[in-house]
Amino acid sequence: MGISPAESGSPEKEQQAAGVGILLQIMMLVLSFVLGHVLRRHKFYYLPEASASLLIGLIVGGLANISNTETSIRAWFNFHEEFFFLFLLPPIIFQSGFSLSAKPFFSNFGAIVTFAILGTFIASVVTGVLVYLGGRMYLMYGLPFVECLMFGALISATDPVTVLSIFQELGTDTSLYALVFGESVLNDAMAISLYRTMSIVRKHASSAQNFFMVIFRFLETFVGSMSAGVGVGFVSALLFKYAGLDVDNLQNLECCLFVLFPYFSYMLAEGLGLSGIVSILFTAIVMKHYSYSNLSENSQQFVSDFFHLISSLAETFTFIYMGFDIAMEKHSWSHLGFIFFSILFIVVARAANVFSCAYLVNLVRPVHRQIPLKHQKALWYSGLRGAMAFALALQSVHDLPEGRGQIIFTATTAIVVLSVLLIGGSTGTMLEALHVVGDSHDGHLGESFDVNNGYVAPSFKEDGTSGTGIKMKLKEFHKRTSSFTALDRNYLTPFFTSQNEDDEEEEEALLDERISGSERGGFLGQ
Beta carbons of 434 and 378 less than 8 angstroms apart: yes
**pLDDT tens sequence across 246-272:** 666 778 888 999 999 999 999 999 898
Lowest mean per-residue pLDDT among 179-183, 197-201, 456-460, 474-478: 456-460
Q: Provide the pLDDT for residue 458.
A: 37
Among residues 281, 339, 338, the alpha carbon closest in space to that of 109 is found at 281
Among residues 429, 509, 445, the alpha carbon closest in space to that of 483 is found at 445
Percentage of residues in the chain having pLDDT higher than 70: 75
Residue 122 lies in a domain: yes
Can you give the residue range of the structural domain that contains 196?
81-314+337-373
Distance CA 189, CA 201 (A): 18
Distance CA 86, CA 342 (A): 29
Among residues 497, 176, 109, 177, the alpha carbon closest in space to that of 505 is found at 497
| CA atoms lying within 13 Å on the CB side of residue 440 | 9
Mean of the per-residue pLDDT values of the chain = 77
Kindly calculate the radius of gyration of the chain based on its CA atoms and give it in whole angstroms: 24
pTM of the predicted model as reported, rounded to 2 decimal places: 0.75
Sequence-distant (6+) residues with CB within 8 A of 233 are: 261, 265, 282, 283, 284, 285, 286, 287, 290, 291
Distance CA 120, CA 282 (A): 20
Residue 106 lies in a domain: yes
Sequence-distant (6+) residues with CB within 8 A of 321 are: 57, 77, 79, 84, 88
Residue 464 lies in a domain: no
Q: Provide the pLDDT for residue 124.
A: 93
Model confidence band, residue 232 (pLDDT cutoffs 50, 70, 90) = very high
**pLDDT tens sequence across 419-444:** 888 877 787 788 778 877 655 444 34
Q: Provide the pLDDT for residue 439.
A: 53
Number of independent structural domains in the chain: 1
Backbone phi, psi, residue 443, to 5°: -75, -15
Beta strands in 288-373 (DSSP E): none
Query: Would you list the DSSP string of 266-285?
Result: HHHHHHTTS-HHHHHHHHHH
Distance CA 261, CA 3 (A): 26
Residue 443 lies in a domain: no
Residue 240 lies in a domain: yes
Among residues 26, 15, 49, the alpha carbon closest in space to that of 319 is found at 49
Task: Give, in degrees to the nearest 5, the angle at Cα 433 between 430 and 437.
Answer: 80
Beta carbons of 319 and 387 less than 8 angstroms apart: yes
Residue 353 lies in a domain: yes
Residue 432 lies in a domain: no
Q: Provide the pLDDT for residue 483.
A: 60
Backbone phi, psi, residue 355, to 5°: -75, -35
Residue 178 lies in a domain: yes
Q: Provide the pLDDT for residue 2.
A: 43
